[in-house]
Amino acid sequence: MGGFVVALLLTIVIESAVLYLLKVREKGDYLLLTLVNVVTNIPANIFYQLNLRYNFINRWLRLALIETAVVLVEWKYINDYMKSDVRPLLTAVMVNVASFLGGILWNMLF
């Protein structure tokens, strides 16, 4: 359970930093990001852990499917609800690439 919390918090911190670099300043947009990550990060990590244990699909296919699903959900929320002037699909891709790479780095260090 602790790993899920760390993954969620790390994701929120990294994605918030990317939004800040993209000049997002609306507080509501950061709340949106947090809520969307609660919706996407926890199920993605559960599916990832289940697949590690039971190996029902190939590792790379699993990663591609999970990350694509997360990007699509976040893109939809960014497009529909974010007040800041950003390109929704590009923003969703950028924040998720950053958090994915941050997760890899975190796992290498800890």
* C-alpha span between 75 and 96 (Å, rounded): 10
* C-alpha span between 82 and 105 (Å, rounded): 28
Regarding pTM above 0.85, the answer is yes
How confident is the model over 60-85, as a mean pLDDT?
95
Q: Locate tokens 């997760």: which residue?
A: 103
The token duo for 26 is 């609306």
Residue 28 confidence (pLDDT): 97
Q: Is the pLDDT of residue 70 over 70?
A: yes
Average pLDDT, the chain: 94
Least confident of 14-18, 30-34, 40-44, 69-73: 40-44
DSSP 8-state symbol, 18: H
